[in-house]
């Protein structure tokens, strides 16, 4: 069989989303960001919103998200993505607006913007990637770092008496009247990826239906920051992150 026969449309089982370009990704091996990017691209395509989607990318590992997804992007200062998204959605009500944020960005420097946008019920989607560490800047402790988890700034592990407790920011956001959907997902297995895509689709549909703010948290790995191989990181995540950050819907207002 010639190669031309193998790549005929009828033989195609899976293809890269059309919204994802061919730029080499800067993410570390095993990083969850690439899979999440793919899911966002697929959902936007499935909804036919390629020309009506606005993404907001702040500072952190995801700062270059605009390099990989061919939609309109706006760059935001560190932590300020929900505030920028608020303006974009209010001025462009027919657009589908989402933020793409890490735990340091969303749950530390951007806590105020996140909480108040969600409390107002802005019709946006907040995509929240939680790997419990500052991945881009050297592996420092984040608000979501687990108790006894070592980082560059707490090498002997997070001490709750000294550093406080890990922040379950999604649970806090679920308490606000303005949120309609808050869920926690992952992408470490094929089954998890399918569930995550379904959650993203629901969140984006909610935003266009004017139901309020949707938050999709991804419990994720950081092989470089955790000083593990990708396989070790997935195992560590399942054994340590999932018990503290359990997967599933936290709030779902139909």
CATH, residue 225: 3.40.50.970
**Residue 241 counted as domain residue:** yes
**Residue 14 counted as domain residue:** no
Residue 129's pLDDT is 96
**Residue 22 counted as domain residue:** no
Bin 91: left if φ > 0, else alpha if -120 < ψ < 50, else beta.
alpha
The rounded distance, in Å, linking the Cα atoms of 155 and 234 is 21
Residue 6's pLDDT is 57
Residue 15's pLDDT is 79
pTM exceeding the 0.85 threshold for the entire prediction = yes
From the CB of residue 114, how many other CB atoms can be counted at a distance below 10 Å? 26
**Residue 19 counted as domain residue:** no
Residue 135's pLDDT is 80
Residue 3's pLDDT is 52
**Residue 111 counted as domain residue:** yes
Structure tokens at 112: 């105020």
**Residue 58 counted as domain residue:** yes
Bin 248: left if φ > 0, else alpha if -120 < ψ < 50, else beta.
left
Tokens 């974009």 sit at which residue? Answer: 88
Nearest to 204 by CA among 84, 67, 42, 70: 42
**Residue 167 counted as domain residue:** yes
Q: What residue ranges of the chain have pLDDT lower than 50?
A: 1
The rounded distance, in Å, linking the Cα atoms of 254 and 244 is 26
Overall domain count for the chain: 1
**Residue 10 counted as domain residue:** no
Please give the span between the terminal C-alpha atoms of the chain, in angstroms, as a whole number.
52
Nearest to 216 by CA among 240, 243, 195: 195
Residue 14's pLDDT is 74
Helices 111-120 and 81-91, axial angle in degrees (round to 10)? 30
Number of separate helices (H) and strands (E) present in the chain = 11, 7
Query: What are the pLDDT digits (tens) for 76-112?
Result: 999 999 999 999 999 999 999 999 999 989 999 999 9
Residues in a beta bridge with 93: none
Nearest to 169 by CA among 144, 204, 133: 144
Tokens 């989402």 sit at which residue? Answer: 98
Q: Tell me which residue range forms the domain holding 208.
A: 27-252
């Amino acid at each position: 069989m010639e190669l031309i026969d193998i790549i005929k449309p009828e033989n195609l089982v899976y293809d890269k989303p059309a919204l994802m370009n061919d730029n080499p990704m800067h993410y570390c091996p095993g990083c969850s960001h690439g899979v999440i990017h793919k899911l966002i691209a697929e959902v936007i395509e499935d909804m036919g919103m390629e020309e009506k989607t606005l993404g907001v990318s702040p500072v952190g590992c995801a700062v270059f998200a605009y390099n990989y997804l061919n939609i309109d992007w706006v760059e935001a200062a560190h932590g300020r993505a929900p505030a920028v998204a608020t303006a974009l959605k209010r001025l462009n009500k027919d657009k589908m607006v989402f933020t793409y944020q890490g735990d340091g960005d969303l749950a530390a420097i951007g806590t105020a913007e996140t909480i108040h946008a969600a409390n107002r019920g802005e019709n946006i989607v907040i995509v929240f990637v939680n790997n419990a560490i500052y991945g881009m800047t050297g592996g420092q402790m984040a608000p979501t770092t687990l108790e006894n988890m070592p980082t560059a700034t707490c090498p002997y592990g997070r001490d709750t008496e000294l550093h406080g407790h890990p922040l379950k920011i999604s649970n806090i956001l679920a308490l606000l009247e303005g949120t309609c959907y808050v869920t926690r997902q992952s992408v470490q297995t094929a089954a998890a990826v399918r569930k995550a895509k379904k959650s993203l689709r629901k969140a984006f549909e909610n935003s266009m239906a004017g139901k309020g703010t949707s938050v999709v948290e991804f419990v994720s790995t950081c092989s470089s920051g955790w000083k593990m191989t990708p396989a070790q990181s997935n195992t560590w995540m399942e054994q340590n992150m999932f018990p503290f950050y359990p997967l599933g819907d936290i709030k779902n207002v139909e």
